[in-house]
Amino acid sequence: MSALPPRVTAELVASVPFPEGTRLHAGPAVSVLSTLTLLAADLTPAAVYRLPELVTRPLTVTPGANLIVVPGRETLTAIDAEGMRWMFKHTDWVIGDGSGSAVVTADGRHVWATVPGPCATPYGGDLWMVFDAVTGRILARTTLADVTAAGSEHHLHPDGVHVALSIGEGQDAAPLYWGRLDGDTIVHSLAGVDDVLVHISPATGEYFTVAHYLEDAVVHRFPGGESRLTFPGEWLVVRAGLDGAEWALDYSGGFIDADTLLVCLQDYEEGGYAHLLVDAVSGDVLGRAGYAEEPDGAGYPQGDGTWLTVVDNRLCRWKTCG
């Protein structure tokens, strides 16, 4: 077996208190009970939003859009700095245990969201919808036939046109769709049936997925979706020098920058995490991130050379040293 890669020193850039009851979302946003705070690069508050209800699922927040959208069991609520901008009422998420997901486009014009389809037997599938971000007017909708989401996440592609929808259906499947708005039509395609979309590179537009059952992680070209790099989970565990049968990939990580990936492994028995830095061009494992204090969980790359973690009730932003 080849020698283990060295530790890569992680340098702390900034940190702020992370009170009990706070949840870190995929982007630079945190929620505490009924508020959500959008953070600047130095982790100082950039905007604070009052939420209509306790948020039980992650939100995807687009910095600079001045709007967040909160998916609930029976409503989709758009909130700006002044309060509620509009609300869309829909059928209860009685199929599965989902509350949908939503994202505001980077230009602030549109909201993409999922809502339940009509409660009929047999169930015809969830709805994928686009709203006018200012008025809440429905601009387009399509039915995702046979989809019954237990949860989902939206991701914006940096081309400003395409939106990804990564859906979890419990143990059944994890379909991944790409969509774009063409007039009053959502043009969409199924990009995978068992791939959880974790992150999109802001620099290259490539995207990073983890298999539904954690077998491997893949860097995909865009728009074709071809696998450019594949990292088997068991191989990564060995390369990291980890012992025990319960180590496996985690649904987190992504592009620290155009050239570097953060790949997260979790000990599903003990709950520990290991963060591997990987060359996003060659696929070489550069090393395991070495922290002065080990993070409590996953890492969240920001695409700008940094990533976020939680350490001992503090939200921390890191970069590689040197």
Whether 94 is in a domain gets the answer yes
What is the pLDDT, as a whole number, of residue 222? Answer: 97
Residue 305 forms part of a structural domain: no
Tell me whether residue 297 is in a domain: no
pLDDT at 115 (0 to 100): 93
Q: In this structure, is residue 251 part of a structural domain?
A: no
Residues 6 or more apart in contact with residue 269 via CB below 8 angstroms:
244, 246
- Domain-located, residue 63: yes
In a domain, 53, yes or no: yes
**pLDDT score, position 41:** 84
Domain of residue 131, CATH code = 2.130.10.10
pLDDT score of 191: 96
pTM across the whole model: 0.94
* 3 state SS of 234: helix
C-alpha span between 247 and 214 (Å, rounded): 10
Half-sphere exposure of 245 (CA within 13 A, CB side): 0
User: Which residue from 168, 170, 253 is spatially nearest to 216, judged by alpha carbons?
Assistant: 253
Q: 109: left (phi > 0), else alpha (psi -120 to 50), else beta?
A: alpha
Q: State residue 10's pLDDT score.
A: 96
**Within a domain: 272:** no
Taking only the tens of pLDDT, the chain with its 322 residues reads 466 778 899 999 999 998 777 887 766 788 876 788 888 888 998 888 888 766 666 677 777 778 999 888 889 999 998 889 999 999 888 765 567 899 999 999 999 999 998 775 677 889 999 999 999 999 999 999 888 888 899 999 999 999 999 999 877 789 999 999 999 999 999 999 999 999 999 999 999 999 999 999 999 999 999 999 999 999 999 989 888 779 999 999 999 999 999 999 999 998 899 999 999 999 999 999 999 988 988 999 999 999 999 998 899 999 998 6
225 burial type by CB count under 10 A (0-12 exposed, 13-18 middle, 19+ buried): middle
Contact between residue 313 and residue 18 where contact means Cβ atoms under 8 Å apart:
yes
Domain for residue 315, yes or no?
no
Total of domains in the chain: 1
Contact by Cβ (8 Å): 35, 51: yes
C-beta neighbour count of 283 within 10 angstroms: 13
Is residue 236 within 8 A of residue 230, CB to CB? The reply is no
> Could you list the residue range(s) of the whole structural domain that residue 159 is in?
25-244
Phi, psi of 234 (to 5 degrees): -65, -35
